[in-house]
Structure 1
């Protein structure tokens, strides 16, 4: 069993690594193909879609996977998946409509409308059909999902590369290339599951749907707040700074998005054995402290290297048109080192099964990010957004430290339920 788990984890880590590499290449082609202003158009559209997609995270894997593991009956699992799919699809459609409403209320021009509508297909497709991914994880079958992810990513990268090679500078064209990824993924996941699913009609059960919503409510709120806090800065920047500056800011943050993904990769590889498998809280806390220190060291080393190499990185990836992003990348890279410590410290509330703590943290981060950005951006422009990013990361770490100190005698929720 341990070998099977390690094998599946290896596939997950390989997938993440390839996604990071492909993501950097795709962003570089976008920036060079569209220029700072065109790049700002598509990045703003992606920010809006990113926040809207959080609404479709209702009934996440934290809710579905334990139930699938607890009951191996195929008909019961099929009924559960059908209800979860319906909830996610409904939320995805709602998210898409709310995105359209936001674009109308804020008076966005057609240059922002069209790419948002096209890329927004992911809001309706990614999470609903991603329920099959939860089913695979419950059966420790991550290899097919990894292959599907790589296949859909390859289609997206190929589409962007073809447009870039052809010298096309149309933002909607690149948006269509982006929309191919969730479409291909949905088709592959659906085909895989239907070939193995029971041929049984599912009757809607309001009680089951209500249970799935209520048990995942805190996780849902946490994800929405987390995703909102990570992209709200670009929404606030857009009406207050020139498009070229927004494009430079988005370019620097794209690099850091790929950098901080290393933190989640490390946590995914370390936590199952050294945290979640620990029978006692004291041992888990000690390991979390060691993991956090090690991850912080990795973050400092990587962030410092990025800051020192910022000029070379910007020139290599984006070209001279994005030279103004160099200073932004240097400051943001140093601020991003705190993300590594935050990811390490977040392992504790997950171990304790206390989603309320995670929701409180992201609610605080979201509110503080908006508050600082609204004050600092009008005064300092894009540097004000970096200030908000840095302060939010610092407060996240301080919240994690406070949680670590206060939970010295706490028990995981599962243990409390058995007591």
Structure 2
């Protein structure tokens, strides 16, 4: 019964993700063709700034919320927990939006970047705060409603982008508003769904619980900030040092891979609650994590090789001849992306152990190495230097995850020998 439930859960998640990937690729193609290489480059840079700022909203992530929801099924207790998590995330979202404005003031870009960045940044006030309902669904292995909501919001975004594309609109801000509409609708649907089922109890602010969630989630939060920064800092460093056309080609190739590697997170989110978080012993959880990592690496390798093999065709189909240089970049970056799948699976172990310090250390190391390599390689090799930093960062992440897995195995062995 458990396996059937997990299979059904994964089926909905993968089905929704498959449609999200297909829709996302189609939308990106219209964005690139509609705005042109220069406009698309500006749009991608604005998205990179917002992506990094959005990491500041992950102050109370699912890694903190989901295990607590699984451990305490009482509806009133869960409602109280979710209310405090929402409050923390919304406050962080307001700070993140201010940071976006502050960065734009310091960097002093032209209006072609100012306006779309502030429009796209509005999503940080909604996506993660209302996304806490998704964590509640994950804890209850109930992904069908979220999948439906996501697809409805995706359909709205696709329709709006298609209408702009068909009308021949080239304005980056108009496309930015179409993108934000997806987050607005998805947040509204999630909020309505949960409130319709939530206990009708009045929640009073518990500063002790808020501090506990903040404290327990702080290291995970720092980890997410470092992780998301390491995945977008390359674009912030690359844009001032290369021609706009080269930056646009690099951003176009990484946009395709973003739609690909997110499958790793979706798979682990569906598997982890039962096969990792709910396991009573470290030995079983650790063994399951290794199996998951091996399977994930196989999935990642299959997808990456397929993308690399069809890179020329993919770029020509999606972006057209104006982005022809993106094919070579996509081919190299795709081969490096397979390691992301194994890394996501191995990260489940420190989450199970509730040792966010290890996750923070890993991403601090990865971020430092990424910045160091990019500062050296990008001026010399341009976009290829950014791909080198991406590949080495992924390899380092997997090595760190394997080190944790082996270390916990040795500790368990030493504990058994000492007790014997």
TM-score normalized with structure 2 length: 0.91
Number of the residue aligned with 2:416: none
1:30 alignment counterpart = 31
State the Cα RMSD in Å.
2.2
Cα distance, 1:158–1:410 mapped onto 2, change above 3 Å: farther
Tell me if 1:316 matches 2:317: yes
Superposition deviation, residue 288 in structure 1: 3.7
Task: Determine if the alignment matches structure 1 residue 222 to structure 2 residue 219.
Answer: no
Contact residue 58 and residue 224 of structure 2 kept, 8 A: yes
1:274 to partner: Cα distance: 5.2
2:263 is aligned to 262
Q: Per-residue deviation at 1:56?
A: 0.8
The aligned residue for residue 301 of structure 1 is 302
Distance 1:263 1:244, change over 3 A: same
Q: For 1:342-361, what aligned pairs fall within 5 Å after superposition?
A: 342-361=343-362
* CA distance in structure 2 between the partners assigned to 1:263 and 1:212 by the alignment: 26
- Cα shift at 1:363: 1.1
- Match in the other structure for 1:417: none
SS at match of 2:168: coil
Shift of 1:4: 4.1
1:209/1:153 Cα in 2 relative to 1: closer, same or farther (>3 Å)?
A: same
Helix, strand or coil: the match of 2:209?
Answer: helix
- Listed as ranges, the matches of 1:368-383 within 5 Å are 368-383=369-384
CA 1:347–1:240: 2 relative to 1, 3 Å: same
2:189 paired with 1:188 = yes
- C-alpha change, 1:30 and 1:80, in structure 2 (3 Å) is same
Q: Secondary structure of the equivalent of 2:197?
A: coil
Residues 161/83 of structure 1: CA separation in 2 closer, same or farther (3 Å cut): same
Please tell me whether residue 176 in structure 1 is matched to residue 177 in structure 2. Answer: yes
**CA drift at 1:83:** 2.0
The worse-fitting range, judged by mean Cα deviation, of 132-141 and 80-89 is: 132-141
State the match for 1:90 in structure 2.
91
Q: Which residues of structure 2 form unaligned runs of 5+?
A: 413-420
1:121–1:182 CA contact under 8 A, matched in 2: no
Query: Distance in 1 between the 2:408 and 2:285 partners?
Result: 11
Tell me the equivalent position of 1:338.
339
* 2:139/2:273 contact within 8 Å kept: no
- The 2-side partners of 1:201 and 1:280 are apart by 37
| Unmatched tracts of structure 1, length 5 or more | 412-419
> Which moves more between the two structures, 56-65 or 69-78?
69-78
Aligned to 1:110: 111
C-alpha deviation, 1:6, in angstroms: 3.9
Q: Is the 8 A contact 2:120 2:177 kept in 1?
A: yes
Separation in structure 2 between the aligned mates of residue 250 and residue 185 of structure 1, nearest angstrom: 26
| Counterpart Cα distance in 2 of 1:4 and 1:285 | 22
User: For the structure 1 residues 185 and 359, does the alpha-carbon distance in structure 2 shift closer, same or farther, using more than 3 Å as the test?
Assistant: same
Cα pair 1:156 1:180 within 8 Å, conserved: yes
CA distance in 1, matches of 2:260, 2:195: 36
Aligned partner of 2:138 in structure 1 is 137
Matched, 1:81 2:82: yes
Report the alpha carbon displacement of residue 202 of structure 1 after superposing the two structures with TM: 2.8
Kindly tell me: are residues 271 and 70 of structure 1, through their superposed partners in 2, closer, same or farther at Cα, counting changes over 3 Å?
Answer: closer
- What whole-Å deviation, never above 9, does each CA across 1:280-319 have from its counterpart, x for those lacking one? 5445444444443443333333323322321111101110
SS in 2 for 1:120: helix
Give, in whole Å, the separation in 1 of the partners of 2:87 and 2:359: 26
Q: Are the equivalent residues in 2 in contact too, given 1:59–1:84 (CA < 8 A)?
A: yes
Question: In the superposition, relative to structure 1, how do residues 340 and 137 fare at CA in structure 2: closer, same or farther (>3 Å)?
Answer: closer
Aligned twin of 2:418: none
Q: Counterpart of 2:417? A: none
Output the CA distance in 2 between the equivalents of 1:183 and 1:28.
22
Contact 2:54/2:96, CA 8 A, preserved across alignment: yes
Q: CA deviation at 1:233?
A: 0.7
Deviation string for 1:140-192 (max 9, x for gaps)? 43222221111111111111111112221111111010010111112112222
Q: Verify the 8 A CA contact 1:8 1:143 in the aligned structure 2.
A: yes
In 2, Cα distance between the equivalents of 1:306 and 1:145? 28
TM-superposition CA deviations, 1:332-361 (whole Å, max 9, x none):
112222223322332332343322221111
What is the match of residue 203 of structure 1?
204
Aligned length: 411
SS of the residue 2:409 aligns to:
coil
Cα distance in 2 for residues equivalent to 1:311 and 1:14:
27
Determine if contact 1:281/1:410 at 8 Å carries over to the other structure.
no
Cα deviation, 1:372-415, whole Å, max 9, x if unaligned, reads: 1111111211111111111111111221222222221446xxxx
Question: Which deviates the most, 181-190 or 170-179?
Answer: 181-190
Aligned counterpart, 1:13:
14
1:62 to partner: Cα distance: 2.5
User: Structure 1 residues 294 and 204 mapped into 2: Cα distance closer, same or farther (>3 Å)?
Assistant: closer
1:64-98 CA-to-partner distances (Å, cap 9, x unmatched) read 23333444444443333222221111100000000
